[in-house]
């Protein structure tokens, strides 16, 4: 009995000391006279970090569910094996560290040129056809910085259904259901520019819609497509089967 009590006392002392040591990392921002004030300060900072993660589309990342599960196990587990007044501080500091690590990971991921499962560089959403056209026709540096053009010959080697007379195209990240979406420009009969949106689902079925790029075609982060036709703003969604569905 004495050994058990003694062991619990050691655990309590260890984590209490750890909590104060960890709090030292935040003295510049969260210096306080008590564990409670430091905990509340880090909680506030964690809310700000969560907002940053949302802005970086953290929930849309393919590994989000796994990351979140691992995060809870790691940080909530610290509560299960801790005791004393510093438990909350230990947990909040754990979340703080992991949020910052995640933000760094996402930033590094953006800096690197991402590739899809077929080895082609992707263009992150949202998409604006004006950037695509300006980069293609005018080599506008600002517009070109927002997209990754893929030579049509290179693209058609991977996807042989792509018309080789099209211009340099862009490919977006796969949807949660594994649908691939490509924006490939071509000339219209009137001499204008069309953006051909081509989808390929996991069964290999292909769907295509061609939209007038003169009025700007927009694709949001959730694959909602907006365009102008006959002076009206229209919207279509890309569903889980790769079909273009009017709203």
Instruction: Summarize pLDDT for 36-52 with one digit per residue, the tens.
Output: 888 899 999 999 999 99
Q: How far apart are CA 183 and CA 170, in angstroms?
A: 5
Phi, psi of 133, rounded to the nearest 5 degrees: -65, -45
159 and 201 in a single domain? The answer is: yes
Assess if residue 165 is contained within a domain: yes
Assess if residue 117 is contained within a domain: no
99 and 159 in a single domain? The answer is: no
34 and 137 in a single domain? The answer is: no
83 and 38 in a single domain? The answer is: yes
Q: What is the mean pLDDT of residues 80-98?
A: 78
- Does residue 247 or residue 93 have the better pLDDT? 93
pTM for the predicted model, two decimal places: 0.56
Q: Residues in the chain, how many?
A: 247
88 and 57 in a single domain? The answer is: yes
Q: How far apart are CA 10 and CA 159, in angstroms?
A: 63
Confidence at residue 29, expressed as pLDDT on a 0 to 100 scale = 66
137 and 105 in a single domain? The answer is: no
Q: How far apart are CA 154 and CA 136, in angstroms?
A: 16
Per-residue pLDDT tens over the stretch 187-216? 988 888 999 999 999 999 999 999 998 888
241 and 135 in a single domain? The answer is: yes
Q: Of 111, 140, 162, which closes a domain?
A: 111
131 and 226 in a single domain? The answer is: yes
Confidence at residue 78, expressed as pLDDT on a 0 to 100 scale = 63
Structural domain that includes position 82: 2-111
47 and 135 in a single domain? The answer is: no
Round to the nearest angstrom and report the end-to-end CA distance of the chain: 69
Assess if residue 241 is contained within a domain: yes
- Is residue 181 within 8 Å of 199, Cβ to Cβ? yes
Sign of CA dihedral 180, 175, 194, 168: negative
E strand spans, 86-205: 127-128, 170-171, 180-187, 193-200
143 and 234 in a single domain? The answer is: yes
Cα within 13 Å of Cα(95), Cβ side: 22
Number of domains forming the structure of the chain: 2
Spell out the residues 6+ positions from residue 151 whose beta carbon is closer than 8 angstroms to its own: 168
Region at 201 (left for phi over 0; alpha for psi -120 to 50; beta for the rest): beta
What's the token pair of residue 89? Answer: 């501080």
89 and 19 in a single domain? The answer is: yes
């Amino acid at each position: 009995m004495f050994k058990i009590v003694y062991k619990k006392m050691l655990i309590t002392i260890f984590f209490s000391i750890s909590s104060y040591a960890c709090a030292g990392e935040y003295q510049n921002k969260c210096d306080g006279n008590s564990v409670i004030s430091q905990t509340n300060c880090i909680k506030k900072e964690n809310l700000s970090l969560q907002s940053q993660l949302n802005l970086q589309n953290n929930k849309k990342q393919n590994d989000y569910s796994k990351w979140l599960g691992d995060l809870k196990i790691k940080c909530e587990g610290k509560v299960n094996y801790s005791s004393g007044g510093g438990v909350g501080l230990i947990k909040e500091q754990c979340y703080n560290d992991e949020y910052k690590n995640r933000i760094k990971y996402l930033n590094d991921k953006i800096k690197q040129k991402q590739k899809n499962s077929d080895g082609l560089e992707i263009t992150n959403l949202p998409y604006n056809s004006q950037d695509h056209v300006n980069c293609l026709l005018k080599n506008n540096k600002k517009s070109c910085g927002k997209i990754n053009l893929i030579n049509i010959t290179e693209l058609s080697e991977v996807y042989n259904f792509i018309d080789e007379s099209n211009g340099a195209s862009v490919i977006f990240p796969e949807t949660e259901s594994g649908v691939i979406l490509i924006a490939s420009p071509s000339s219209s009969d009137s001499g204008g520019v069309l953006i051909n949106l081509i989808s390929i689902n996991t069964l290999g079925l292909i769907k295509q819609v061609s939209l007038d790029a003169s009025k700007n075609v927009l694709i949001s982060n959730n694959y909602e497509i907006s365009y102008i036709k006959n002076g009206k703003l229209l919207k279509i969604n890309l569903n889980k089967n790769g079909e273009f569905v009017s709203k």
